[in-house]
């Protein structure tokens, strides 16, 4: 158990709670064209930014533990950084280092997977997100593993490609599939049998999270494991045909299966095969992992369950020890804000809807599923609608707001944290009109929370985990707007590299700190900021808060 936090002699806590409001995917755009945050009608946010102490925080690249500042941030690493007050090397960086040094291939798990298929003359399968978005996976890691498999004499490899179009341009699938098919063709010239076997859009198959829609996982199981689905001779043919039939962008393309004869799938999984799920991020990895590993599964009927050796790229949940086998150790995040506040006896409340519930709990707590204290930690999940987010861009913002206001008015909680998913989840759809509605809905909710905080005599800290809604259109390197084939602005569905706001609304301020907040910091500074506003000193080693005490 950690020691209790020391009181901050420079600050007397307010009568009401500290409320940390995370506007997921809301940043400061680099370009006016496509900045839905700037374009939206948000009178409350505009007012708060104008009248309150405010600064900009870094939310991407090395500031959140990614390999370089060319790497976008994401909700996982963002909430890790916010919750623990420091920066840890994250999945992308850890896997990159393990691949480059060869440590991954020297590990016991890799050796077991390879030995299994060589002993049984079976197949090594790779399943995961097929892009270089570096948020959930990186195709370079897959390529390195395929080359190592060849080097070690694995004769048969099958790849199950989840199409991205979310962390990369929305119709870029063939930019990854075609070169990879050529890469495999070169390997096959040397007497190997390496193929893409199945695929589908990441928002249709396999990559569900937080138990929001297990039918996605069922569809993935059917195509990847059983080889049941629409049959095509190549992934290229499948993608082109499904685009014509559906008009969908990559993330929403239906599943497909590869077959040479139009009858038999080339990559159905069988007993004694080895399977690597090569995504390194946990939230969209746990359900498919459970489908492979659980002895009993209630969520759907798996039918034939082949006896395979399954491993993940990383351990996706340290409490659940899922998966049982993994290739790279995850970051060991300790001393989180939640744990310190529990050690200090501070009652806390965390709330979001399903899509981001795990972010204000699991990721915020350093990838920990369990509570630190059952009495002091209070969590609420509001079930998300299972519809395309552009159809209901307000999502559950009103319900989250209701829960937060009730928590504020109850007087039970000193620290409240919430996540509004709209800017990110609707931003990923690429629909500018929908994001404008989403931002308008958020603004109404922020106004309600700010008023509740004012009445309770509390403090409201508004920030974000990364940008998205602020960058809805593609631009070239010179900053010029890109156009699609119809002459319309080319839609962007990925996160941005832009900074995010940090607004401190403290209506009961007695002038203990300057109106000028510190600059040049990252979102990891939010933990120390909240701790100081609660009347405590930030723990040793935490990144500095944004507050300049007088």
Q: Do residue 214 and residue 312 come from a single domain?
A: yes
Helix (H) / strand (E) element for 19: namely: strand 18-23
pLDDT digits (tens, 9 = 90+) for 25-58: 999 999 999 999 999 999 999 999 999 999 999 9
Q: What are phi and psi of 116, to 5 degrees?
A: -60, -50
Is the confidence at residue 72, as pLDDT, over 90?
no
Residue 377 has pLDDT above 70, yes or no: yes
Q: Which residue has the tokens 């930019």?
A: 175
Domain C-terminal end among 304, 328, 352: 328
Annotated binding residue at 356?
yes
Q: Are residues 376 and 306 in the same domain?
A: no
Is residue 97 exposed (0-12), middle (13-18) or buried (19+ Cβ within 10 Å)? middle
Torsions phi, psi for 304 (to 5 deg): -65, 125
Partners of 505 in the β-ladder = 460
Q: Which residues are known to be catalytic?
A: 75
Last residue of a domain, one of 295, 328, 361: 328
The whole-number average pLDDT for the span 422-429 is: 95
When pLDDT is cut at 50, 70 and 90, the band that residue 317 belongs to is confident
> Does pLDDT of 320 surpass 80?
no
Same structural domain, 168 and 294: yes
Whether the predicted pLDDT of 271 surpasses 80: yes
- Which of 328, 345, 363 terminates a domain? The answer is 328
* pLDDT for residue 505: 98
Is residue 302 one of the residues assigned to a domain? yes
91 annotated ligand-binding residue: no
Mean pLDDT over 517-527 rounds to 98
**What's the pLDDT tens digit per position in 224-265?**
999 999 999 999 999 999 999 999 999 999 999 999 999 999
Q: What are phi and psi of 22, to 5 degrees?
A: -100, 110
Task: For 175-221, give the DSSP string.
Answer: HHHHHHHHHHHHHHTTT-EEEEEEEEETTTSS---TTS-HHHHHHHI
For 477-499, how does the pLDDT look when each residue is reduced to its tens digit (9 = 90+)? 899 999 998 999 999 988 999 99
**Considering only CA atoms, which of 124, 20, 127, 44 is closest in space to residue 444?**
44
Asked whether residue 7 is marked as a ligand-binding residue, the answer is: no
Q: Do 226 and 300 meet the contact criterion of CB atoms below 8 Å apart?
A: no
What's the whole-number mean pLDDT along residues 63-75? 89
Q: Point out which residues pair with 163 in neighbouring strands.
A: 201
CATH number, position 350: 3.40.720.10
What's the pLDDT tens digit per position in 150-201? 999 999 999 999 999 999 999 999 999 999 999 999 999 999 999 999 999 9
Average of per-residue pLDDT across 136-162: 98
pLDDT of 319? 63
Q: CA-CA distance, 530 to 541, in Å (whole number)? A: 15
Residue 275 makes CB contacts below 8 A (sequence gap 6+) with 125, 126, 127, 269, 292, 308, 309, 310, 311
- Per the CB < 8 A criterion, the answer to whether 56 and 502 are in contact is yes
Q: Tokens representing 452?
A: 């509740």
Do the annotations mark residue 209 as ligand-binding? Answer: yes
12 domain residue, yes or no: no
Note whether 368 and 453 are same-domain residues: yes
Q: Is the predicted pLDDT of residue 331 greater than 90, yes or no?
A: no
Residues 497 and 381 in one domain: yes
Which alpha helices (DSSP H) does 299-371 contain, by range?
337-343, 354-358
459 close to 12: Cβ distance less than 8 angstroms: no
Could you tell me if residue 225 is left (phi over 0), alpha (psi between -120 and 50 degrees) or otherwise beta? alpha
270 is in an annotated binding site: no
**284 in a known ligand binding site:** yes
Read off the pLDDT band of 369 (50, 70, 90): confident
Verdict on whether the full-model pTM lies above 0.85: no
CATH assignment at residue 178: 3.40.1450.10
Q: Does the pLDDT at position 307 exceed 90?
A: yes
Does the pLDDT at position 329 exceed 90?
A: no
| Structural domain of 237 | 92-328
**Residue 14 known to bind ligand:** no
User: Do the annotations mark residue 385 as ligand-binding?
Assistant: no
211 and 164 fall within a common domain:
yes
Residue 470 binned pLDDT confidence (cut-offs 50, 70, 90): very high
Residue 545: inside a domain, yes or no?
no
Which three-class secondary structure state does DSSP give residue 481?
A: strand
Q: Are residues 315 and 215 in the same domain?
A: yes
Residues 146 and 270 in one domain: yes
- Residue 136 marked ligand-binding: yes
Same domain? For 185 and 283 the reply is yes
CB 255 within 8 A of CB 219: yes
Positive or negative, the Cα torsion across 490, 493, 496, 501?
Answer: positive
State the first-to-last Cα distance of the chain, in angstroms, to the nearest integer. Answer: 33
Number of domains in the chain: 2
Do both 243 and 362 map to the same domain? no
Which helix or strand (DSSP H or E) is residue 436 part of? Answer: helix 432-456
Asked if the model's pLDDT at residue 91 lies above 90, the reply is no
Nearest CA among 282, 8, 24, 312 for reference residue 135: 282
Provide CB contacts within 8 A for 237, sequence distance 6+: none
- Which residue(s) pair with 21 in the sheet? 418, 462
CB 121 within 8 A of CB 274: no
Residue 68 marked ligand-binding? no
């Amino acid at each position: 158990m950690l020691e209790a936090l020391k009181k901050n002699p420079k600050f007397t806590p307010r009568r009401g709670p500290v409320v940390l409001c995370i506007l997921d995917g809301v940043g400061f755009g680099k370009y006016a064209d496509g900045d839905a945050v700037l374009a939206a009608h948000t009178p409350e946010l505009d007012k708060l930014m104008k009248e309150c102490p405010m600064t900009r925080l870094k939310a991407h690249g090395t500031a959140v533990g990614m390999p370089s500042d060319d790497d976008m941030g994401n909700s996982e690493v963002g909430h890790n950084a916010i919750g623990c007050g420091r920066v840890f090397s994250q999945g992308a960086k850890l896997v990159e280092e393990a691949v480059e040094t060869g440590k991954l291939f020297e590990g016991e798990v890799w050796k077991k997977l390879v030995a299994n298929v060589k002993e049984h003359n079976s197949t090594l399968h790779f399943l995961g997100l097929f892009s270089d978005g570096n948020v959930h996976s990186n195709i370079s890691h897959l390529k390195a593993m395929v080359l190592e498999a060849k080097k070690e004499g694995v004769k048969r490899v099958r790849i199950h490609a989840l199409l991205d179009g979310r962390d990369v341009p929305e119709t870029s699938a063939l930019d990854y599939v075609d070169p990879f098919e050529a890469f495999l063709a070169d390997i096959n010239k040397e007497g190997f049998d390496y193929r893409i076997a199945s695929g589908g859009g990441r928002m249709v198959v396999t990559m569900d999270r937080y138990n929001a829609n297990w039918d996605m996982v069922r569809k993935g199981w059917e195509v990847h494991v059983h080889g049941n689905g629409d049959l095509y001779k190549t992934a290229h043919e499948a993608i082109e045909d499904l685009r014509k039939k559906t008009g969908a962008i990559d993330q929403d393309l239906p599943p497909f299966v590869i077959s040479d004869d139009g009858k038999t799938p080339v990559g159905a999984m069988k007993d004694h095969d080895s399977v690597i799920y090569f995504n390194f991020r946990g939230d969209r990895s746990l359900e498919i992992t459970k489908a492979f590993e659980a002895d009993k599964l209630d969520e759907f009927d798996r039918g034939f369950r082949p006896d395979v050796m399954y491993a993940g790229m990383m351990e996706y949940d340290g409490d659940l020890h899922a998966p049982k086998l993994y290739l790279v150790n995850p970051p060991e995040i300790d001393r989180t804000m939640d744990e310190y506040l529990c050690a200090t006896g501070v009652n806390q409340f965390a709330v979001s809807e399903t899509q981001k519930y795990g972010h204000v709990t699991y990721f915020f707590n350093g990838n920990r599923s369990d509570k630190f204290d059952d009495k002091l930690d209070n969590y609420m999940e509001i079930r998300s609608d299972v519809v395309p987010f552009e159809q209901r861009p307000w999502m559950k913002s009103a319900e989250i707001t209701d829960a937060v206001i009730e928590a504020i008015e109850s007087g039970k909680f000193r620290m409240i944290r919430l996540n509004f998913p709209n800017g990110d989840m609707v931003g990923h759809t690429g629909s500018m009109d929908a994001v404008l509605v989403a931002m308008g809905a958020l603004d109404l909710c922020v106004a309600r929370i700010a008023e509740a905080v004012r009445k309770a005599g509390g403090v409201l800290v508004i920030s974000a985990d990364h940008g998205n809604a602020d960058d809805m259109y593609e631009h070239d390197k010179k900053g010029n707007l890109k156009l699609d084939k119809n002459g319309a602005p080319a839609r962007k569905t990925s996160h941005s590299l832009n900074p995010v706001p940090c607004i401190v609304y403290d209506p009961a301020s007695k002038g203990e700190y300057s109106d000028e907040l510190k600059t040049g910091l990252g979102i990891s500074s939010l933990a120390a900021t909240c701790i100081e506003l609660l009347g405590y000193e930030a723990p040793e080693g935490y990144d500095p808060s944004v507050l300049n005490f007088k």
